A and B are shown apart, each in its own frame.
Chain A
Amino acid sequence: MGEPKSVEVKLESTLESVELAEEMVKHFAEQHGFEDDEVHQIGMAVRESVVNAVVHGNAYSAQKKVLLAVEAGGDRFLVRVQDQGAGFELKEIPDPLAEENLLKRSGRGLFLIRAFMDELSVRRLAPQGTEVVMVKNTPSNRHQGGS
């Protein structure tokens, strides 16, 4: 009752933005009926995505921003993260569970997002940038038999 259905913020390309994004989305998820474990998963997925945007996408540039949008309509809790970097292809990201990658220091962020959310899509933006969209089915959707 009375909770906003969507929110959108533009963030600086800093590590402080990562903390802010995670806390903001977790708070939003709590308000929309997710249980503690799911709130943790959503928060972590957002953290990983914003880290990618700040570190790999925008490379901490003060001129580049990260757009974070959350929509909690109907049966889906959707989070959108956009950066202004060079972009990447999802299929080019190595599988972190492969034997040869298991002991690598990095490369697990997108894997964790996929593990914690129900849907993940990535697309390049014009003229530059990447948009990551992740969706978690809301508790009411699952009770009705959603996956």
Chain B
Amino acid sequence: MSIKATTRQADGVTIIDLSGRITLGEGSSTLRETVRDLVSKGQKKILLNLGDVTYIDSSGIGELVSSFTSVNNQGGQLKLLHLQKKVHDLLQITKLYTVFEVHTDEAAALKSY
């Protein structure tokens, strides 16, 4: 069981809907390649919808951080939407919750760009 990523556009923002597990191996590389592809196409407003992400390990956290910095370095913004409790807790204990802009409502998230 790994990860699925689909992208859609709304209000000039690219939303990546992720589901499954972001762990070392396929899960991490799917996220990396999806974000890298968007950045290379000039997409600078990216919203990661983690509502159906059930599990993230330290490699997955690393991939989120890496995606965040690569989008930032291109002058863009990467934000997070709909964290499940386990993922929320993980970002809290790793002190990354304050690094990411996290939203619980998609419409509000879209307006924030």
Contacts and interface: CB of A to CB of B under 8 A. Distances in A.
Given A96-B94, A108-B58, 6 more contacts: A40-B86, A48-B57, A103-B65, A103-B99, A106-B62, A112-B94
Interface of B: 23-25, 57-59, 61-63, 65-66, 68-69, 86, 90, 93-96, 99
Nearest to A97: B95
Nearest to B56: A44
Interface string A106-140: 10110110010000000000000000000000000
A105 B63 contact: yes
Nearest to A19: B23
Chain A interface SS verdict (over half): helix
B62 A108 contact: yes
Contacts of B95: 97, 102
A58 B62 CA distance: 21
Given A103-B69, A104-B65, A44 B57 contact: yes
Interface string A43-82: 0100110010001000000000000000000000000000
A129 B66 CA distance: 30
Contacts, number: 44
Contacts of B86: 40
30 contacts: A15-B24, A18-B24, A40-B86, A44-B57, A47-B23, A47-B57, A48-B57, A51-B58, A51-B59, A55-B24, A102-B96, A102-B99, A103-B65, A103-B68, A103-B99, A104-B62, A104-B65, A105-B63, A105-B66, A106-B58, A106-B59, A106-B62, A108-B62, A108-B94, A109-B58, A111-B94, A112-B58, A112-B90, A112-B93, A112-B94
Contacts of A115: 93
Contacts of A104: 62, 65
